Amino acid sequence: MKLSTNFVKDYIDIDVDVKQLAEDMTRVGNEYDSAGKLINATKLIIGKIIECVDHPDSDHLHLCKVDIGKEVLNIVCGAPNARKGLKVIVAQNGAELPEKTIKKGMIRGQESNGMLCSIAELGLEHKFLKPEDKDGIAELGEDAVIGEDPIKYLGLNDDVIDFELTANRGDLLSVLGMAYEIGAIYDKTVKTVDLSHKEYGKDLNESFKTEVKTDNCKLLLVKKVENVEIKESPSFIKNRLIASGIRPINNVVDISNYVMLELGQPLHFYDADRLGKKLVVRMAEKGEKLTTLDNIERTLDDSDIVIADSTHGVGLAGVMGGLETEVENDTKNIIIESAIFDSVKIRLTSKKILRSEASNRFEKGLDPNRTYMAIERACTLLEKYANGKVVTGIVKYDKTDNKEKEINLEFKNVNDVLGTTISQKEILDVFRKLGFSYSVKGDIVTVKVPTRRLDISIKEDLIEEVSRIYGVDNIQGKLPVVPMKKGTFDKTQREIRNKMIALGLNETLTYVLINDKEVHKFTLDEFEELKLLDPITEDRNTLRYTIIPSLLKIYEYNNARGQKDISIFEIGKGFYKKGEIYGEDTKLCCLMTGKYSIGLNHTNNVDFYTIKGVVEEILNYLGYEGRYSFIKQEMPKEIHPGQSAYINVNGTDVGIIGKLHPNVSKEDIYVFEINLDELFKKKVGKMKYKEISKFPSVKKDVAFLINKKVVSKDIEKVIKNSGGSILSDIEVFDVYTGKNIDENKKSIAYSLNFIDNKKTLTDEEVNNLLEKIIKNVCDKFGAELRK
């Protein structure tokens, strides 16, 4: 809401700097975006052209001698309307205009000491201007006094504050509402609104009817003004509209907007001669057509409120009038509609069609008393500025309850909520400043809330008023005195994050919204994807199920910027619908490619075993050691079938690991993802001490030549079963294929550790076991011992 301070000063006497006013309003909760002069220009002066001749070296420039009182300036001017005798706006040397600074100069060989300005050059938005304001220099009236301030002469010496109001303060979408608020700050009384006018002829109720067919209209008022004279508005109306961000059109249309700005009640003016004898408010029929003011045919819905005459729709209530009954230059008689429509319905319609100054006010809710006031005010102004004759009477439909609300408030309650010791007197003073009447009985004050304050309905609202006007800054902060307790906090996610970081991975934060084409990739799970009803872009139209596509995008972004060594992870949500259940799981996802460690002799490229190591490290750290396995099954087609597995904990797949399929990326990229919610369903045992044997352990290395297809896990199983309880550890320390080895075979070497907690092992004992192991492995897999 742009507030013209000239406008508000009609209702309240203040003499405060505009910045100060804006700051003071901010302190009571009305934030502003900007505050300053309407016209930001310096060194302007009224002058008169006393001589105007053509420039000798130009076909359009003029050489003007301009009298500015204290001196006569030579100014070169290109405006076609520059002529002798004209009173003009002169920007003197050094003048700062919104788009230029005026300097003394030579224009095609002729000295120029300043500039003659158009209205547009003063910095008003072009949409508010008439063509002549842009095409030529401003032509001031004969009454303009040479040497004086042209901005003042034009009535543009206004200050404007652009407020960003909160959604609950619909009352501040009016100059009068602002006056009450400012009055509360500076303890000033608000002046009354002039509603006086004469009325003529027979009561309007005899010739005009209204009919309201829907609950969505609670109040409908109609008056008629005849014989209006359509012309340009007086400059104070135009200037205030411009300062408030509304384009002046003609006096009649401007008055409807002026009253809306002044009192917050949008009005609609119909050309009475193009409207029937009846105004009907009803819900639109589905598919009903209506051509609005902007000459667009709208197709309506049964949630739109329509204003109709006895035959068809003539306006979209609260949002936009119809083209057919629009006030035009030849309009003589006017029907004024002042009404209250359901705010939710208006919101729906305006969202669909157009957000306007009017719809904004309907949406925030209106004060019925203002609805009455506004229609009378419009009559007053039409009489005064359009020579209209107001027809006697008002056609009225009123289902509102416009009594002032009474709220009881205990003084103690104020101080309890605010944590203060504000006195009764100070509390009552706040209500007085706000213009609320009240009565006190014992410890309780009964406040009558004016109908304009739709935002106040419970005692907490009144407490807020006290805190606003008393001043939050005057309330001292204190520390709550609370019973001691330990905050509960599941740190598991954080610990996983720290572990991943300790393993050298960079944590990312990616968007959960992805393209629907990506959602079913990297998974064979069955689920229904969750698409947004109204996405911003197609690239972000669906909630992700796995995080892998997100990390792959991050890989691509970095790879394109020359970053080849990427080890990243994220803990985030994956979303789904399974059956009727909408759900989300927390997932740990990781992507690794390029070099993992870099050193003089230690450079190491990421491979399957690197990322598998990360998974094992995380699972071991979380206490799942010995309870997980990597299982080969059918893989999603985006994963390399020969370098991938499901991560299985105690019989349940909790994740996936693998290299990306060459069809997805030609680079060697490895990923894993673990569903942490699934994982944590598997409980882990307590960490506790295991006895360390007092007896020495014996280490034996053994290598087998074995068919390539035999997997290590199976060999380990045979070794373990053969080794029995004293075989404490099996570790693969070398796998070799190639030179000196049959091409169908591999050499695989294990380091076996034997230990007994009860005695020292003898060589014989260990050797016997080793022989048994070797024999079993060789028999089972057709392997041979590699010497």
Partner 1 sequence: MKEQINKIKEQALKDISAVEEIKTLNDVKVKYLGKKGELTSVLRGMGSLLPEERPIIGSLVNEVREEIEQAIKAKEEKFQEMELQEKLEKETIDITLPGTKIKRGSKHPVNRVIEEIEDLFVSMGYDVVSGPELETDEFCFERLNLPKGHPARDMQDSFYITKEYLLRTQTSAVQARTMLANTEKTPIRMICAGKTYRREDDATHSHQFGQVEGLVIDKKERNVSLADLKGTLEIFVKKLIGKNCELRFRPSYFPFTEPSYEVDVSCFKCGGKGCSLCKQTGWIEVLGAGIVHPHVLEMNGYNPELYGGFAFGTGLDRLAMFKYAIPDMRYLYTNDIRFLSQFDRKDEE
- Among positions 487-516, residues that touch partner 1 (CB under 8 A) are 487-490, 494, 497-498, 500-513
Distance (Å) of CA 409 to CA 281, 444, 465, 642: 40, 5, 12, 75
CA separation for the pair 612, 610 (Å, rounded):
5
Q: Of the listed pieces 163-171, 240-248, 272-280, 318-326, which binds partner 1 according to CB under 8 A?
A: 163-171
Instruction: Encode 42-82 in three state secondary structure.
Output: CCEEEEEEEEEEECCCCCCCEEEEEECCCCEEEEEECCCCC
> Which CB, 434 or 703, lies closer to partner 1?
434
CA separation for the pair 40, 146 (Å, rounded):
21
Crossing angle for the helix pair 368-386 and 251-263, nearest 10 degrees? 150
Question: Under rule CB under 8 A, how many of the chain's residues touch partner 1?
Answer: 91
| Distance, first Cα to last Cα, the chain | 90
CB of 364 to partner 1, least distance (A): 6
CB of 576 to partner 1, least distance (A): 9
Residue of 24, 42, 78, 346 lying closest to 188 (CA atoms): 24
CB of 563 to partner 1, least distance (A): 5
Q: According to the binding rule CB under 8 A, does residue 296 interact with partner 1?
A: no
Among 59, 99, 142, 473, binds partner 1 (CB under 8 A): 473
Q: According to the binding rule CB under 8 A, does residue 458 interact with partner 1?
A: yes
> Which CB, 112 or 541, lies closer to partner 1?
541
CA separation for the pair 179, 11 (Å, rounded):
6
Q: According to the binding rule CB under 8 A, does residue 599 interact with partner 1?
A: yes
Q: Of the listed pieces 330-338, 373-381, 525-533, 645-653, which binds partner 1 according to CB under 8 A?
A: 525-533
DSSP run (H or E) holding 242: helix 235-243
DSSP for 376-422? HHHHHHHHHHH--EEES--EEEE----SPEEEEEEHHHHHHHHTS--
CB of 734 to partner 1, least distance (A): 23
Task: Classify residue 504 by its DSSP letter.
Answer: T
> Which CB, 256 or 343, lies closer to partner 1?
343
Among 404, 461, 616, 667, binds partner 1 (CB under 8 A): 461
Which residues from 386-425 bind partner 1, rule CB under 8 A? 416-420
Residues 6+ apart with CB under 8 A from 414: 420, 422, 427, 462, 463, 466
Q: According to the binding rule CB under 8 A, does residue 356 interact with partner 1?
A: no
Which residues from 5-64 bind partner 1, rule CB under 8 A? 26-29, 31
CB of 41 to partner 1, least distance (A): 20
CB of 31 to partner 1, least distance (A): 7
> Which CB, 203 or 410, lies closer to partner 1?
410
CB of 680 to partner 1, least distance (A): 13
CA separation for the pair 32, 163 (Å, rounded):
4
Task: Classify residue 616 by its DSSP letter.
Answer: H
Q: Of the listed pieces 99-107, 133-141, 144-152, 161-169, which binds partner 1 according to CB under 8 A?
A: 161-169
Residue 326 near residue 259 (C-beta atoms within 8 A): no
Which residues from 175-234 bind partner 1, rule CB under 8 A? none
CB of 711 to partner 1, least distance (A): 29
Instruction: Give the dihedral of Cα atoms 736, 738, 743, 748; nearest 10 deg.
Output: -10
CB of 493 to partner 1, least distance (A): 9
Which residues from 359-378 bind partner 1, rule CB under 8 A? 363-364
CA separation for the pair 144, 46 (Å, rounded):
7
Which residues from 317-346 bind partner 1, rule CB under 8 A? 343-344
Q: According to the binding rule CB under 8 A, does residue 687 interact with partner 1?
A: no
Looking at the chain, how many residues does it have?
787
> Which CB, 554 or 719, lies closer to partner 1?
554
Q: According to the binding rule CB under 8 A, does residue 579 interact with partner 1?
A: no
Beta bridge partners of 163: 32
